[in-house]
Structure 1
Amino acid sequence: MSTKPKSVRAAAAQISPDLESADGTLARVLETVREASRKGVELIVFPETFVPYYPYFSFVQPPVQQGPAHLLLMERAPTVPGPLTDAVAAAAREAGMVIVLGVNERDHGSLYNTQVIFDADGRLLLKRRKITPTYHERMVWGQGDGAGLTTVDTRVGRVGALACWEHYNPLARYALMAQHEEIHCAQFPGSLVGQIFADQMGVTIRHHALESGCFVVNATGWLHEAQVRAVTADEKLQGALRGGCHTAIVSPEGKYLAEPLTEGEGLVIADLDMALITKRKRMMDSVGHYARPELLSLVIRRDATSTTQPWPSVPSQEAALPLPEGAPHD
């Protein structure tokens, strides 16, 4: 008999970071978890690289001027695992809640766009890095690898995650679909590009829900006007840091389960009827009865990349030589 929940209460958080303090942003995460817990939430998703904050500076400053802001971000960025993950793990355990959080992960001299998933008992189930930073982001983050293209079994079901324009990589999405994700957690920065970004986001998350036959919980960030001005004093560039918010929850049938949040801070909360997954996939299971693996298939390299590799063992030349005819064998 299945022990999976029949219904899951999920939340997508659209909140502002503290642009002056990583601890301040972490405090916002923990308070939001407590607020969601009071509302019976069992899964919460936060925006892309929310801790300490998304590198908005990289979108409005030329590369030659980004040095100080980039160094400051590195100084404030957490390691994974570390004190940040310890604090979030404790919050997940206390609330009995699955938490999906976006962070700028510092790994020695490099930063990565990282998604971390905590189970409701506080265990860190997954740390994955965005496989290809987008456009301006390539000046900020390194590239991830295939080790993170995996789903994890949590108290609320099988969960997968991608960040922002990774949703425009159909093979990355298919990698998660093929592992039968039930709840897909999407993260975007928010307060970027404008309404066209928000409109595209809505199309993207609804399409993935339909194609994968899963729920999509999408979180975007939000900048207050004072924060926009703090990122850039150039009024012509400030417009690029407004709009672009579409925090929403979508069913496997592509329907919004609550009104999307496009301005301001708040939680989008909805109850996920897990039976809708089977209802959708009975009609169209893109990795099952609707697939044609003898025609089309995906190859994934799942090992984590590293700058060092063990030298392969090479058989000795003597062992490779044939024995003389008539020589005794061991």
Structure 2
Amino acid sequence: MALTHPKYSVAVVQAAPIWLDLDATIDKTICLIKEASAGGAKLIVFPETWLPGYPFHIWLGTPAWTIAKGFVQRYFDNSLAYDSPEARRLSAAAREARITVVLGLSERDGGSLYIAQWLIGPDGETIAQRRKLRATHAERTVFGEGDGSDLAVHDLPGLGRLGALCCWEHLQPLTKYAMYAQNEQVHCASWPTFSLYEPFAHALSAEVSNAMSKVYAVEGSCFVLASSSVITQDAVDLLCDTDDKRTLLHAGGGHSVIFGPDGSPLGHRLGENEEGLMFAELDLGLIGVAKGAADPAGHYSRPDVTRLFFNKTRARRVEHFSLPSKDATPEDIAAS
């Protein structure tokens, strides 16, 4: 019996969050989820730290300046906790729209923040809550890090094998290989706005970042849905209080893309300042054709020469245990 391959529509977000306003950005998120579903999409992908917007302030001034301007407190307070009414609104929106959501967010857990992606199923239930393995450069002044359990690919009915990474995780060869080795078919790449340090840092440019997404598609022989946000002039004015800061951050920066497993571009791209959704049709049958030429974790690998050691165990900062009492039986000890 011949295999059948899912075919379905996807939507990739290119839009501006309401910077440092969690509730307003959730309202906008729900509108985009409804729009994607109305357009026939079964999957929607959002940018990195879409909620409550990427913390560009950390690249613009000193830590003391970010505290004095109130950015540190506001960013913490407007980050999303999973056990909150705000999170339940998002779960309900996915359920009502019957769509799978990959949402980029700043996750608040206790007193710490993490760059996260929340995968929500069309029933509103959580598929996964992953964290960026290591925050990049200045991001480490704000965010903690994930662990090997966050490099996971999920087999989803009707969608295929789906995984997700954030931003410069796509620059890490071993991180990518860990995903390829799990036979990922649809990859959700969350990126911030591509207008920081332009034109001073080419490595942060849309050209380089979109090249990473394209190479990921070809290397992994998978579809890549790469979502980036737009930054508005209002947000620039909020974040930049001096002329020198305004030379570092500019309005625009939206460069969302979708690539097929051979690296070919899919869907109609939006303008740099344009907000909206990119739609594309995926045919997972194309993956077998691409992998027939080169499967990096399969027939095109040489494990006798190079191989990856991959620790998928979740890291626990506290391990709870108790010592058996003097009256404990062998059964009690075995059960402890």
Aligned ranges 1:26-45 → 2 under 5 Å: 26-45=26-45
Q: How does 1:67-82 map to 2 (within 5 A)?
A: 67=67, 68-82=70-84
Alignment-derived partner of residue 105 in structure 1: 107
| Residue of structure 1 in register with 2:231 after alignment | 223
In the alignment, does 2:197 pair up with 1:193? Answer: yes
* Cα pair 1:11 1:45 within 8 Å, conserved: yes
Contact kept in structure 1, 2:19 and 2:53, CA below 8 Å: yes
Tell me the equivalent position of 2:319: 309
SS in 2 for 1:240: coil
SS at structure 2 position matched to 1:17: coil
Shift of 1:72: 1.3
1:276 deviates by: 1.1
1:258 alignment partner, one of 252, 267, 270: 267
How far 1:240 moved relative to its partner?
2.5
Deviation at 1:65, TM superposition (A): 1.4
In 2, Cα distance between equivalents of 1:187 and 1:35: 19
Is the contact made by 2:229 and 2:253 (CA closer than 8 Å) also made in structure 1? no
Aligned to 1:135: 137
- Structure 1 residue 255: Cα displacement: 0.8
Moved more, 81-90 or 203-212: 81-90
- Aligned counterpart, 1:11: 11
Q: 1:176 to 1:313 in 2, by over 3 A?
A: farther
Structure 1: how far apart are the matches of 2:197 and 2:281?
31
| Structure 1 position 84, deviation (Å) | 3.0
Tell me how large the CA RMSD over aligned residues is: 2.1
2:45 is the alignment partner of 1:23: no
2:169 counterpart residue number: 166
| Residue in structure 1 matched with residue 327 of structure 2 by the alignment | none
Q: Describe the shift of the 1:7–1:239 C-alpha distance in structure 2 as closer, same or farther (beyond 3 A).
A: farther
Measure, in 2, the Cα distance between the counterparts of 1:5 and 1:34: 26
Q: Percent identity?
A: 34
Aligned residue-pair number: 315
Number of the residue aligned with 1:206:
214
Query: What SS does structure 2 have at the residue aligned with 1:42?
Result: strand
1:94 to 1:173, Cα distance in 2 relative to 1, 3 A: same
* Stretches of structure 2 lacking an aligned partner (at least 5 in a row): 325-336
- CA shift in 2, pair 1:239/1:220, >3 Å: farther
Q: 1:81 to 1:150 in 2, by over 3 A?
A: farther
Q: 8 Å contact 2:20–2:75 — kept in the other structure?
A: no
Match for residue 240 of structure 1?
Answer: 248
Distance 1:23 1:75, change over 3 A: same
Letter in 2 for 1:96: R
The letter of the residue matching 1:249 is I
- How far is 1:201 from its partner? 1.1
Paired letter, 1:287: A
Could you give the per-residue CA deviations for residues 35-57 of structure 1, whole angstroms, max 9, x where no partner exists? 11111111110010111121111
Equivalent pair of 1:74/1:111 in contact (CA under 8 Å): yes
Which residue type is aligned with residue 278 of structure 2?
Answer: V
Deviation at residue 131 of structure 1 after TM alignment: 1.0
- 2:222 partner letter: C
Q: Is the 8 A contact 1:120 1:154 kept in 2?
A: no
Tell me the TM-score normalised to structure 2 length.
0.88
Distance in 2, matches of 1:8 and 1:109, equals 40
Q: What letter matches 1:305 in structure 2?
A: A
Residue 182 of structure 2 is aligned with which of 179, 182, 187? 179
Aligned CA distance change for structure 1 residues 290 and 134 (closer, same or farther; 3 Å):
same
Which residue identity is paired with 2:196? Answer: L
Kept in 2, the 8 Å contact 1:193–1:244? The answer is no
The Cα shift of 1:293 comes to 1.5
Structure 1 stretches of 5 or more lacking a match? 315-330
Deviates most, 123-132 or 207-216? 123-132
